[in-house]
Amino acid sequence: MIAKVITDLALDREFDYLVPPGHESEYAVGGAVKVPFGRASRSGYILSFSERSDFDPAKLRMLEGPAADRADIPPNLVALGKWIAEYYCASQEHAIRTLLPAAVRNGKVRERKCRVYFVPDHAAAAKYLADHAEDARLDKRRNVLRLVLRRPDAVRSEYTADADYSAGAFDALVRAGLIASREESIAPDPLAGVEPVPDAPLSPTPDQKKALDMLEEMERTPDGPHVLLLYGNTNSGKTEVYLQAIAKTLAHGRSAIVLVPEISLTPQTVRRFRARFGGNLSVLHSRLTDRERFDEWNRINSGQVKIAIGARSALFAPFRDLGLIVVDEEHDGSYKQSESPRYLARDVAVMRGKLEHARVILGSATPSAESLYNAKQGKFRLCRMASQVADKPAPIIRIADRRLDPPPEPGVSNLLSPMLIDAVRERIERAEQTILFLNRRGYARALCCPQCGYEARCPECSVNYNYTYSRSRGVLSCHLCGNIVPAPVNCPQCGSPEIRYLGSGTEKLESVVHAVFPDARIGRMDSDMMRTPGDYEAVLDKFSRGKLDILVGTQMIAKGLHFPGVTLVGVINADQGLSMPDFRAQERTFQMLTQVAGRAGRGERRGEVIFQTGRDSEVLQFAANLDFDGFSKFDLEFREMLDFPPFSRLIAVIFKGEDEKAVAAYAAAFAAELQVYKHDQVRITAPAPAPIEKIRNQYRYLMTIRGRKLKTIREAVRILALHRTPPAGVSVAVDVDAQDLM
Ligand code: ADP
Ligand code: ZN
Ligand code: ZN
């Protein structure tokens, strides 16, 4: 018998080994094994068995034995991994790697604390980057420093997957004090030591009963759809449906997975599941230590717990008797993984459900166009939860058209419209609270000189206005590459002191609000402000205890927060996202607006929402009328007209490299090779500079493939991308079902 084994070398290649005769029973699909490889010994996983090999059987080598120090992959997950590798054009090694947490895969559990890294002194970092900009020997260090600037407060393992990571450079920067770390203070289990009050299932409302009945019917008809799209506003009772469906699944002796966006994995959420299911629940969040992750994995793998809740990767919880997967907020962008394999957890959940005969619930107040389309096509069942459990009137939403405002007085910022100013004033007088939302951090986004026309921009990236100016820290930072430089006081070109800052972020908004309402107590929440998780909680705590009148923030405050005292929400630039060159811009804007609007009026008083805009937009009208059905009809028509997903499938291929000519040439050659697979159902755009043409001196060319029957061409793309070596310095990334085209 021959075992097909995948090693940890990313070659996208299985190797054949003989199973030692008489020992067949010691090996199974997914088993971790030791194999001879060259002159060394490596570990790998068995993907399948076969009677035959394409190689000369006399030359095949023998498996050395099971790898005792490593965990086996449950066989059902091996099948899922194969599908991920194929569908998402990823190497099999990358796909297999996502199935197991690093701690489990490596078999080594380092007893270490959850340590997160950050850049303690931005001014020092800016100086370091500027001083060594020319020194090629320090390239790696600069890349690592910028990686940490871009993505602060992450654990080490979150950096290691990045192309910019280098262990040596990382350690050197830590020694030099440019990168610092601290032990994460969040308790691994948000409820450690707290015994939640157990609660019992509520008696279902008619909508909930309908949903539960549909799930039972799906169970009885295994040939029909296995996915239920649960479409209902906040407070329509979706979570209660999840809870009861899980209880039924457990009663049938099977297990359940609940996926939520990381940002929604709050103590509030966990408490609700704990109250119903007690210790039968494993909570998988990103800040678990290796040890904890290892333990949770083993608790699931050994059947000690029957429910796992967590973000994206919880989908790979090693249950062997899965009965249900819940994907809450199924439309959420965080379900897409940005590195290989670039999978979309919602779709992989649907596939895992199919492979393991489990049902899947996709829940959302604003379902994705893809899921609605699948429901229309009969692939998913649709359950509309139309009534609210707690009958709350929807907020009143008004649009402040900035073009109708009187011109602002000289020297006065016009960030706030008169309509919004009046509404905030009323709230302050009535001792109610306001949230002001602006999806851009920093003080300003452009710095220019009116004397000579100089405009500051990150030289290594291409988009205009890629710098964000932080006044409090006195630096300009590039939101694309993380580069930071000291902010100039005078124009670097002509020396004029009249340098101007244009465009506004939350830091500026805070100062403007302060100027307009000098007596109001104002808090701000954005990634600049939040240096530690403690900061985050401190602001929220103040706000929830009524110690702040106004909370200013970015998307950090858009989701999930529940503040009964808030009766007004103002969206400063409601039309901001609409001009993105991306066919999902409308959908994202609508989702964002409804989400933010949902923060108003959660208490006794009815909420009010004001969208400020500088243009007409149907999307804003639909959002202001809380008309999701109208919006989705409009959006689907637009996509159908242009033949975008969900009416077609989309694969994006990105070519990157420092030498633009080489990138363009390789992209063209790649595209040319694909032409033979093209048929009349497929459209291939010629490779061209991506909307973001350059990041960190890497030119980026984008090619898209769209069409209905993409299987053949996807296989061709996969082989070209994985098995063809591009010229030195050029790299290729394939993004199947890409969620953005920037
Ligand atoms: P969603 O997940 O759609 O936002 P939830 O399931 O959280 O909705 O329900 C909203 C609120 O209504 C919660 O406070 C919940 O406890 C309550 N609720 C849900 N279902 C019922 C029910 N059948 N009877 C009474 N209260 C309910
Ligand atoms: Zn100048
Ligand atoms: Zn940059």
Which ligand has an atom closest to residue 269 CA?
1
Q: Hey, which bits of 676-720 come out as E strands?
A: 682-684, 688-695, 698-707
Two tokens, residue 515: 């100027």
For residue 191, is pLDDT > 60? no
Tens digit of each residue's pLDDT (9 = 90 or more) over 72-116: 899 899 999 999 999 999 999 899 989 988 878 776 655 456 678
Which ligand has an atom closest to residue 493 CA?
2
H-type helices in 238-368, by residue range? 238-251, 267-277, 290-301, 345-355
Tell me which residue has its CA closest to atom 20 in ligand 1: 237
Torsion of CA 166, 169, 171, 175, to 10 degrees: -170
Q: Quick one: which of 206, 560, 209, 226 has its CA closest to 365? A: 560
For the Cβ of 520 lying below 6 angstroms from any atom of ligand 1, the answer is no
For the Cβ of 264 lying below 6 angstroms from any atom of ligand 1, the answer is no
Which ligand has an atom closest to residue 451 CA?
2
- Enumerate the β-bridge partners of residue 66: 33
Tell me which residue has its CA closest to atom 16 in ligand 1: 240
Distance between Cα 466 and ligand 2 center (Å): 19
Please, what sign has the CA dihedral across residues 162, 167, 171, 176? negative
For residue 328, is pLDDT > 50? yes
For the Cβ of 387 lying below 6 angstroms from any atom of ligand 1, the answer is no
Position 464 scores a pLDDT of 65
Alpha carbon 378 to chain centroid, angstroms = 28
| Gap between the terminal Cα atoms of the chain | 48
Q: Does the global pTM surpass 0.75?
A: yes
Instruction: Label residue 188 by pLDDT band (50, 70, 90).
Output: very low
Tell me which residue has its CA closest to atom 12 in ligand 1: 389
d(C-alpha 10, C-alpha 365), whole Å: 40
CB 169 within 8 A of CB 144: yes
Amino acid at residue number 577: G
Instruction: Label residue 141 by pLDDT band (50, 70, 90).
Output: very high
Three-class DSSP category at 197: coil
Tens digit of each residue's pLDDT (9 = 90 or more) over 647-697: 999 999 999 999 999 999 999 999 999 988 888 889 899 999 998 889 888
Position 386 scores a pLDDT of 86
CB 671 within 8 A of CB 684: yes
Q: Determine phi and psi for 552, rounding to 5 degrees.
A: -105, 135
Average pLDDT value for residue range 460-469: 76
Q: Quick one: which of 477, 475, 474 has its CA closest to 466? A: 477
CB 432 within 8 A of CB 565: yes
Average pLDDT value for residue range 284-300: 85
d(C-alpha 539, C-alpha 352), whole Å: 40
Two tokens, residue 522: 């104002």
Kindly report the CA angle at 225 between 584 and 386, in degrees rounded to 5? 60
Average pLDDT value for residue range 384-408: 87
Tell me which residue has its CA closest to atom 9 in ligand 1: 237
Tens digit of each residue's pLDDT (9 = 90 or more) over 584-640: 999 999 999 998 888 888 788 889 999 999 999 999 999 999 999 999 999 999 999
Residues 6+ apart with CB under 8 A from 121: 178
Q: Quick one: which of 702, 700, 644, 651 has its CA closest to 678? A: 651
H-type helices in 252-388, by residue range? 267-277, 290-301, 345-355, 369-376
For the Cβ of 388 lying below 6 angstroms from any atom of ligand 1, the answer is no
For the Cβ of 389 lying below 6 angstroms from any atom of ligand 1, the answer is yes
- In a 13 Å sphere around the CA of 673, the CA atoms on its Cβ side amount to 14
Q: Which residue's structure tokens are 């120090």?
A: 69
Average pLDDT value for residue range 321-349: 95
Which ligand has an atom closest to residue 271 CA?
1
Please, what sign has the CA dihedral across residues 436, 437, 440, 445? negative
Two tokens, residue 80: 């899922």
Q: Which residue's structure tokens are 């990571």?
A: 165
Position 559 scores a pLDDT of 66
Q: Which residue's structure tokens are 């905030």?
A: 424
Q: Determine phi and psi for 282, rounding to 5 degrees.
A: -110, 125
Using only C-alpha atoms, what is the Rg of the chain?
Answer: 27
Q: Which residue has the higher pLDDT, 493 or 528?
A: 493
Distance between Cα 269 and ligand 1 center (Å): 13
For the Cβ of 560 lying below 6 angstroms from any atom of ligand 1, the answer is no
What is the number of the ligand 1 atom nearest to the C-alpha of 205?
23
Instruction: Label residue 186 by pLDDT band (50, 70, 90).
Output: very low
Average pLDDT value for residue range 467-492: 84
Average pLDDT value for residue range 260-265: 85
d(C-alpha 309, C-alpha 327), whole Å: 10
For the Cβ of 276 lying below 6 angstroms from any atom of ligand 1, the answer is no
Whether the ω angle into residue 206 lies within 30 degrees of 0, i.e. cis, is no
Query: What Å distances lie between residue 181 and 115, 177, 333, 565, CA to CA?
Result: 6, 10, 29, 36
Q: Determine phi and psi for 412, rounding to 5 degrees.
A: -105, 130
Neighbours of 49 (CB within 10 A): 14
Please, what sign has the CA dihedral across residues 720, 722, 727, 731? positive
Position 235 scores a pLDDT of 83
Position 258 scores a pLDDT of 98
Three-class DSSP category at 198: coil
